[in-house]
Amino acid sequence: IGNYALAYAFGWVRSPYRLQGEATGRPTYKEDLEPIAPACYVLPASPINGRVTFRFERFNALSDAYWYAMTNNRVATAREDLPIQRQGKKPSSFRASNFPQTGRLRMIERGNKFQTVVFGNCELPDYIRVGKFMSKVKVNVLSELEIALLPIGNYQSQAYLSVADLPPNLELLSFDLISMPPAPLLKNLSFRGAAWQIGEMIVPANLYFCCGGRQNG
C-alpha cells in the first residue's frame, strides 16, 4: 500500500473530493504533503507474511436504462444515439472513455495484514479507509521504537521505499523496482549514505514526503 495513500487515509492531509480550476487533471501530492513533511512520515505498507491473497468479483457499470447498445467507443442509452448509415446519418466517432463497462475486479481479500513504520508524533486513528471502494481497515500500534542514526556507509534495506522520497545525495547501488503510480517503489535496496535504524530495520536517513522536509525524527 503506497505511503501517499496512507498519509491521506490517516487524515494527515486532505484533498477535495472534486478538483476544480487549475487543479483539474493533475494530482496535488506535493502541495498537500510538503507542509507535513517536517513532522510526519510513513513507509509504504508491506504484507506481514510476505504474500497477499486476492479475491475476484464481477462488476457491471453499464447503464440501467430500459434500452442501451454498445457503439463506437461508448454506450448508447437512446436509439437516436445510434449512427444509422441507411437513414443518411453520418456515423459518429467518439473518444474512448478509458474505463471498462463490465469485467472482473481483483481485490485484496479480507484477513490480509500489512505493516509499516510511522515517523514523528502524528496521531493515528483506530480505523482508516483505503482503496477504490474505501474498505475499512483496523490500525494497531505494535510498538514504539527509537531511531538510531547510523554514519555514512554501505547498507542493505528490506523495506519498501518510495523513489520520490529519497534524499538527493543518496547513492543507489542495487535494488528491485516496482512500477506503480504515483511513484515507483524500491525493494531490497543497497545504498551508500547515512541511515536510520529502527529496531532491526534499516532505511536511508532523511526520508521525507517529496523530499520536502527537514526533520521528522
Answer whether 175's CB lies under 8 Å from 189's CB: yes
Answer whether 110's CB lies under 8 Å from 52's CB: no
Q: Measuring CA to CA, which residue among 132, 145, 129, 160 is closest to residue 48?
A: 160
> DSSP secondary structure string, 115-132?
E--EEES----SEEEETT
Q: Is the pTM of this model over 0.85?
A: no
pLDDT for position 88: 55
- Condensed to tens digits (0 to 9), the pLDDT of residues 110-153 reads 889 999 999 988 889 999 999 888 889 999 999 999 999 999 99
The count of C-alpha atoms lying within 13 angstroms of the C-alpha of 173, restricted to the half-sphere facing its C-beta, is: 12
Kindly state the helix (H) or strand (E) to which residue 32 belongs, with its residue range: helix 29-33
